[in-house]
Structure 1
Amino acid sequence: MTEGGRDGRSRRRFLAAAGAASATALAGCNGILNDGGGDGTGAPAAATFDDFRGSGANIGGRGEITGTRVADLPDLSGQLNIYLGGGEGGLYTDLLSLFGQVYPDFEPNVRLEPSTQLASKIREEQSAGGSFADVFWAVDAGSLAAVASEGYTRALPDDVVEVVPDQFRPDNAWTGVAGRARAVPYNTDQLSASEVPDTVREFPDTAALRDSMGWAPTYGSFQAFVTAMRLLRGDEATRQWVTDMQDAGAAGYANEFLISNAVADGELAAGFANHYYALRVKAQRPDAPIDLAFTSGDAGALINVSGAEVLEGTERVDLAENFIAHLLTAEAQEFFATRTFAYPMVPGVPPVGGLPRVDELSPPDIDLRQLDDVGGTIDLLRETGAL
């Protein structure tokens, strides 16, 4: 594992292109799951491709979309028990509802709790003889890895997940379905892109950020970022960085959407947040003075994933695997990209809002399975007084 510095790339404004409004082309298809016109009986029309897609300026100017289509896969049919961790404020259940419009015989039975709690529940159930759930769909790699490390998952078939980059499907024990990049939202009235340091270790000593940085130590994504820093730099260096950031006046917030809004309001010059929160601010306030910078090769450039795994002992293996294949279709990936503003996991679906593609970022060399040591991170944050 390495922590890098500058790689010669330019620090340009990424969200400047978010207002592009040209239509996105759908390669090799007519963009329709069916005619969407109903059956004349008063029943609701089945979903079209556009039903999966969000709206607004963020979706435009992205080029063509390719990939496996829902129509290419076997029907989803029958009951599937899904433990769903988080779900982007209910948006993931919206995706399940869209699948239900396409497949009236599909019955997802969802238990919705935080990912870490569900991971603990699965381990308890499996150690007692088997989990009630068939699929675990979590919003972070650490929870997926915690379950897989105990041998409680079934390896996913190559033909289901081969389109996903290797680092986001370790040993096929689970697969990422949507990505989130750590980023630095900054106020463009107060800072230029060149003033945002290229590595997070420089932040405490950057005069332009003193008493004007925001972070969310109670937030799971921030804790994953600190866990990554511990893996890259060790506990002592990480503890010192957390202390130095406090000395530099880092302000605590309950979540990273609040941080991004505070940056847009000028309350902060910059902050630590997942990339999509700035896009959500822009979607609500197109003229807000906020943009994103990305660090290089360090914990601040971590790409984490929402992902899914099939649990050992399920009697619905085919349905569970088919469901995960559906999460990787062009329709579902367009849903993740345009409704949650996440990074698609398949190369045929571009990200939104002028974002660089995943392969244009400079994430650290970290095995996402190692992000399961959240307990050690919480201990460190408490010891330093950040929590």
Structure 2
Amino acid sequence: MTSDRTSRLTDRRTFIAGTVGTASLLAGCSGISGSSRSGTTDDPVVETGTASTRTPEGGAPSIDDLPDLEGDLTVYLGRGEGGAYSDLVSYLEDTRYEDFSVTLKRGPSSGLANTILTEAANGESPADVFWSIDAASLALVARNGLAATLPADLTGIVAGKFRDSKRRWVGLTGRARAIPYNTDRLTADDIPASVFDIPGKKRFQDALGWAPSYGSFQAFVTAMRHLEGDSRTRQWLNGVQETGVKSYPGEFGVTYDVAQGTVSAGFANHYYALRLKQANPDAPVDLAFTHGGPGALINVAGALVLRSSDRFDLATNFVRHFLTREVQRYLVEHVYSYPLASGVAPPDGGDIELPSIAELDPPDIDLAALGNVKETIRLLRDTGVL
């Protein structure tokens, strides 16, 4: 009789094995060619959607080029990305490396960061790796001197604006701010090039949605404060409220109601519209992207290794696995995040035209600054947004 564990293991092999050349991906996902442990290929090809491009020299490594993972790790993992991260961890320990095991502690990234600080104050944290869905939580741990310095050849896989300048943490995937809009009500030309031009426009009167209590929205407002100042940010928040805006607990709700026509447009991360379109290709929703300012912010999920860990080599090798082109492709195709390792194509948005990171022209901001949310929350309360 097949056990539940065996069934889960079979499922994990199915959905990820294509990244290492042992099987095909789950039906409906694009194939990913690469070598297995029993064979190699001298000229790997990255396949994403209908595009096929050779990985450039100096790009993301292949998972087959990394040392095996052997030993035990304790990983604090921020909740998010629909379980894809924990599924990848399970794949590594259950399927690929028989002598590797992970103890996972799940929770909100900000809560786990504070847990690490508390544990360190009382001795040391049992965590080896902190894997957060936002840069702010990583920065908080790093600022308190608890993060080890990562190898330069690891952090160097990722562009400088998506990693810590002192190599204490590195981004793994990115999410872009976007404006989902209902295509039955608006066109791309109706969406201004700057978020500052949205308040006061008649087409958005009583037709906008946002999620002000959601972490990604608060990071966006924090970026606005750092880039434009508190006065202009306050003016923008008041202007959007005067235009008329419906509040939601999360940004999937914003995007869903855009597609339903409850609101005409909103503020959300890019991937919610892509997930919605995957489930319902006929949904009347598209994405518009602003450029250069806070509306073009790209935040990251990333990881650090704790200084107190006595498994530094294993921990850094573990982090390195998530910057391989196979795993980056998996996250692109299943989570719709932007890959941060070079040489991996961005998500295939189908009918939604998704620009590259370079085309988005994200603002020049230290992502560590997004950890200062106390002043942002105070401003949101002062303006009546919260």
Deviations 1:203-259 (A, max 9, x none): 112211111010001110000000001101111221221111111111101111111
Q: Per the alignment, in what secondary structure is the counterpart of residue 63 of structure 1?
A: strand
Deviations 1:91-132 (A, max 9, x none): 211111121211122111111000000111111222333211
Alignment pair present for 1:170 and 2:168: no
Counterpart residue identity of residue 260, structure 1: T
C-alpha distance in 2 between matches for 1:202 and 1:317: 48
Look up the match of 2:112. Answer: 118
The alpha-carbon distance between structure 1 residues 361 and 373, as it changes in their structure 2 partners (threshold 3 A), is: same
Aligned ranges for residues 73-112 of structure 1 at < 5 Å?
73-100=66-93, 101-112=95-106
CA contact (8 A) 1:52 1:95 kept: no
Unaligned 5+ runs, structure 1: 1-42
How many pairs were matched up? 345
Look up the match of 1:279. Answer: 274
Q: Per the alignment, in what secondary structure is the counterpart of residue 288 of structure 1?
A: coil
Look up the match of 2:51. Answer: 62
Look up the match of 1:25. Answer: none
Alignment pair present for 1:290 and 2:285: yes
CA contact (8 A) 2:29 2:333 kept: no
C-alpha distance in 1 between matches for 2:26 and 2:342: 19
The runs of 4+ residues in structure 1 deviating greater than 3 Å are 43-47, 50-59
Aligned ranges for residues 371-382 of structure 1 at < 5 Å?
371-382=370-381
Look up the match of 1:357. Answer: 356
Counterpart residue identity of residue 296, structure 1: H
Look up the match of 2:135. Answer: 141
Counterpart residue identity of residue 357, structure 1: S
CA contact (8 A) 2:161 2:364 kept: no
Look up the match of 1:268. Answer: 263
Q: CA deviation at 1:63?
A: 2.6
Unaligned 5+ runs, structure 2: 1-8, 31-47
Q: CA deviation at 1:52?
A: 9.0
Q: CA deviation at 1:62?
A: 3.1
C-alpha distance in 2 between matches for 1:149 and 1:54: 41
Deviations 1:130-167 (A, max 9, x none): 21100000000111111111111011101222111011
The alpha-carbon distance between structure 1 residues 348 and 219, as it changes in their structure 2 partners (threshold 3 A), is: same
C-alpha distance in 1 between matches for 2:72 and 2:226: 40
Q: Comparing both chains, which one has the higher relative contact order based on Cα–Cα distances under 8 Å and sequence gaps of 6 or more?
A: 1
Aligned ranges for residues 186-205 of structure 1 at < 5 Å?
186-205=181-200
Q: CA deviation at 1:360?
A: 1.5
Q: CA deviation at 1:53?
A: 5.4
Q: Per the alignment, in what secondary structure is the counterpart of residue 204 of structure 1?
A: coil
User: Quick one: percent identity of the two aligned structures?
Assistant: 49
TM-score, normalised by the number of residues in structure 1: 0.85
Which shifted more, 125-134 or 361-370? 125-134
C-alpha distance in 2 between matches for 1:55 and 1:309: 34
C-alpha distance in 2 between matches for 1:225 and 1:198: 16
Look up the match of 1:330. Answer: 325
Look up the match of 2:315. Answer: 320
The alpha-carbon distance between structure 1 residues 340 and 125, as it changes in their structure 2 partners (threshold 3 A), is: same
Look up the match of 1:227. Answer: 222
Q: CA deviation at 1:350?
A: 0.5
Look up the match of 1:6. Answer: none
C-alpha distance in 1 between matches for 2:326 and 2:209: 35
Q: Per the alignment, in what secondary structure is the counterpart of residue 118 of structure 2?
A: helix
Deviations 1:303-338 (A, max 9, x none): 000000011110010110000100101121012101
